[in-house]
Amino acid sequence: MKSIDKFYSAVTNGKHICVGLDTDIEKIPNHLKNSDDPIFLFNKSIIDATRAEAAAYKLNFAFYEASGIEGLTSLKKTIEYIGEEIFIIADAKRGDIGSTSAMYAKSVYDYFKFDSITLHPYMGYDSVQPFLEYKDKLNFVLALTSNKSANDFETLTLSTSEKLYQKVIAKVNEWNKQFANCGIVFGATQIEQLQENIQLIKDLPILLPGVGAQGGSLEEVITLFKQHHFTPYLINASRSIIYASNGNDFAEKAAEELKKLNAEIVTLSSAQ
Amino acid sequence: MKSIDKFYSAVTNGKHICVGLDTDIEKIPNHLKNSDDPIFLFNKSIIDATRAEAAAYKLNFAFYEASGIEGLTSLKKTIEYIGEEIFIIADAKRGDIGSTSAMYAKSVYDYFKFDSITLHPYMGYDSVQPFLEYKDKLNFVLALTSNKSANDFETLTLSTSEKLYQKVIAKVNEWNKQFANCGIVFGATQIEQLQENIQLIKDLPILLPGVGAQGGSLEEVITLFKQHHFTPYLINASRSIIYASNGNDFAEKAAEELKKLNAEIVTLSSAQ
């Protein structure tokens, strides 16, 4: 299946939770730490336990790069272990001049074989374009992020009265006309702004981090998308799932947490 | 010597050219390609030939990540080979929510042992702050970049009449008050804007990419900084140096190119 089709297949079937494998060697259960590759072993257990219920997996490069070459080896093994059936996002937040972005695209899409990436918009179209050339992939550009300092620049008002992040969304819509392989990142903590901009976002795929540890409300997100069912979305949950328990039952508890979120989505979606 | 002191030591001694080791496996001389680690071998030869004249080295992660684990192994070996004496910049353009940026900082500063990094401003202060905690390092935030699409967002006018990149510079000046370990990236192709904003930039260190292959003029940059000698700066040249020749003499030609640039700087700096 084409990368982008995996995304649409998941969300069309009502699967919306993306499991964020932000695996921090300091936070995994102690009994794993003496193995050859604790990060991979942790991920493998989480994947085995959540595979049937996950819409997608998202791996944030930072957590793997922190352990250097070893960490990136764990990252590669994890992607191979997830396999071809499930949509996998490289949360890499890359963006550079065109010839350099082309090298990042080569890394993320050709070498690591991700289905999707997150990108910084700051440098504009030519910094994003090499990723778009991978027509079957899905490229999520940061619009409004879940962190407090999003207000430093993202929400600044332009002379045209638009906010900067609204200008980003408008541009992404424009870029999307070429191959329909763009999406945006919008923090689940920014629910009012999401509501205000849903007509601008239209049918652009959205990746929403920030539910759980960062304080975003699943109920608010689902209620919003119930009214705007044309917008395909993934909600990322990382820490609340993968660190649901710190004991021997960590994988089981992760699966329970994911099931709980999925059940909440069903309930909220069917509520009047 | 502290990382940041290496920077000031170089520029105070009139060294301003940063050699960009954007090493692309496709572009290195053929006779190196059969070795065990062609990227490292190429870098090693360039470093041997340029070490005495280089103000700094800059390694763009994309070119190494493109070859995956192997490429990052070459990156690590290259940093170790350069050693402790010369300022080394991770051109990584990272930026994520705080807890994630902390992992990137761990990677770039603790694991790879760079002296400096380039960062995306889009997500604001808390995405940059974990890097600033490394007080002896120098953190270059993207202001106005050298690519054409810099006009998509960076030069947008805000409701306050400032341009977005001017707001970024103002914020970086504010962030810099804490530990004096911030700088900005400003494209050498954007000379008029650099001239207009030099009073805003004040004594913030500047990294200027875009001289050479991207079309920036060394003469214009040097002439400007002659008038504003309070601004410490590095001019990056990548392709024009490292690919000066594609033959057996590639390292020798790289050294010649660097010497030529340094000689031009001396001439331009002393001209009336």
Reply yes or no on whether the pLDDT at A271 is more than 80.
no
The DSSP output letter for B31 is: G
**Cβ atoms within 10 Å of A4's Cβ, excluding its own:** 22
Per-residue pLDDT band at B213 (split at 50, 70, 90): confident
Give the pLDDT score at B8: 98
Minimum CA–CA partner of B67 in chain A: A107
Residues B159-194 pLDDT 10s: 999 999 999 999 999 999 999 999 999 999 999 999
Strand partners, A34: none
Please tell me which residue, B93 or A34, carries the higher pLDDT value: B93
Give the pLDDT score at A104: 98
CA dihedral A75, A81, A86, A88 (to 10 degrees): 10
Catalytic-labelled residue, pool B2, B76, B77, B93: B93
Strand partners, B87: B56
Contacting residues of B for A71, CB less than 8 Å apart: 107
Contacting residues of A for B100, CB less than 8 Å apart: 22, 60, 62-63
CA distance A270 to chain B (A): 33
The complex's ipTM works out to 0.97
Tokens of B62: 């994309």
Q: How many CB pairs under 8 A join A and B?
A: 185
Active site residue B135: no
CA B206 to chain centre: 9
Mean pLDDT for the stretch of residues A26-35: 93
Contact A120, B122 (CB under 8 A): yes
| Interface contact flag, A159 B154, Cβ < 8 Å | no
| Interface contact flag, A122 B125, Cβ < 8 Å | no
CATH superfamily of B3-270: Aldolase class I (3.20.20.70)
Minimum CA–CA partner of B111 in chain A: A68
Question: Closest Cα partner for B75 from B90, B86, B87?
Answer: B90
Question: Closest Cα partner for A5 from A269, A162, A163, A181?
Answer: A181
Residues B82-126 pLDDT 10s: 999 999 999 999 999 999 999 999 999 999 999 999 999 999 999
Mean pLDDT for the stretch of residues B36-41: 96
- Interface-testing mutation among B152, B167, B239, with chain A (most A C-beta atoms within 10 A): B152
Residues A132-172 pLDDT 10s: 999 999 999 999 999 999 999 999 999 999 999 999 999 99
Give the pLDDT score at B272: 67
The DSSP output letter for B175 is: H
- Interface-testing mutation among A37, A119, A123, A126, with chain B (most B C-beta atoms within 10 A): A123
* A182-186 and A206-208 strand pairing: parallel
Give the pLDDT score at A233: 97
Minimum CA–CA partner of B169 in chain A: A153
| Interface contact flag, A147 B168, Cβ < 8 Å | no
CA distance B6 to chain A (A): 24
Strand partners, B140: B118, B183
Residues with Cβ within 8 Å of B229's Cβ and at least 6 positions away in sequence, in order, are: none
Contacting residues of A for B106, CB less than 8 Å apart: 66
* A233-237 and A206-208 strand pairing: parallel
Task: In whole angstroms, give the CA distance from residue A59 to residue A19.
Answer: 9
Contacting residues of A for B158, CB less than 8 Å apart: 156-159
Which of B19-23, B60-64, B118-122, B224-228 is least confident? B224-228
Mean pLDDT for the stretch of residues A97-117: 98
pTM (2 decimals)?
A: 0.97
Task: In whole angstroms, give the CA distance from residue B188 to residue B168.
Answer: 17
% residues pLDDT > 70 (chain B): 100
Task: In whole angstroms, give the CA distance from residue A227 to residue B5.
Answer: 57
Contacting residues of A for B174, CB less than 8 Å apart: none
CA distance B272 to chain A (A): 36
CA distance A267 to chain B (A): 31
Task: In whole angstroms, give the CA distance from residue A212 to residue A189.
Answer: 10
Residues A55-86 pLDDT 10s: 999 999 999 999 999 999 999 999 999 999 99
- Interface-testing mutation among B149, B167, B190, with chain A (most A C-beta atoms within 10 A): B149
Residue A60 CB burial class (10 angstroms; 0-12, 13-18, ≥19): buried
- Interface-testing mutation among A22, A134, A153, A165, with chain B (most B C-beta atoms within 10 A): A153
CA distance A110 to chain B (A): 8
Per-residue pLDDT band at B215 (split at 50, 70, 90): confident
Mean pLDDT for the stretch of residues A19-36: 94
% residues pLDDT > 90 (chain B): 93
Which residue among B66, B149, B159 places its CB closest to the CB of A126?
Answer: B149
Contacting residues of A for B112, CB less than 8 Å apart: 68
How does the average pLDDT of chain B come out, rounded?
96
Reply yes or no on whether the pLDDT at B29 is more than 80.
yes
Minimum CA–CA partner of A69 in chain B: B69
Give the pLDDT score at A272: 67
| Interface contact flag, B97 A67, Cβ < 8 Å | no
Contacting residues of A for B22, CB less than 8 Å apart: 100
Residues with Cβ within 8 Å of B260's Cβ and at least 6 positions away in sequence, in order, are: none
Residues A182-234 pLDDT 10s: 999 999 999 999 999 999 999 999 999 988 777 889 999 999 999 888 899 99
Mean pLDDT for the stretch of residues B67-88: 98
Give the pLDDT score at A37: 96
CA distance A266 to chain B (A): 30
Task: In whole angstroms, give the CA distance from residue A110 to residue B196.
Answer: 42
Catalytic-labelled residue, pool A76, A93, A113, A171: A93
Q: Which amino acid is at A132?
A: L
Residues with Cβ within 8 Å of A4's Cβ and at least 6 positions away in sequence, in order, are: A115, A136, A137, A138, A181
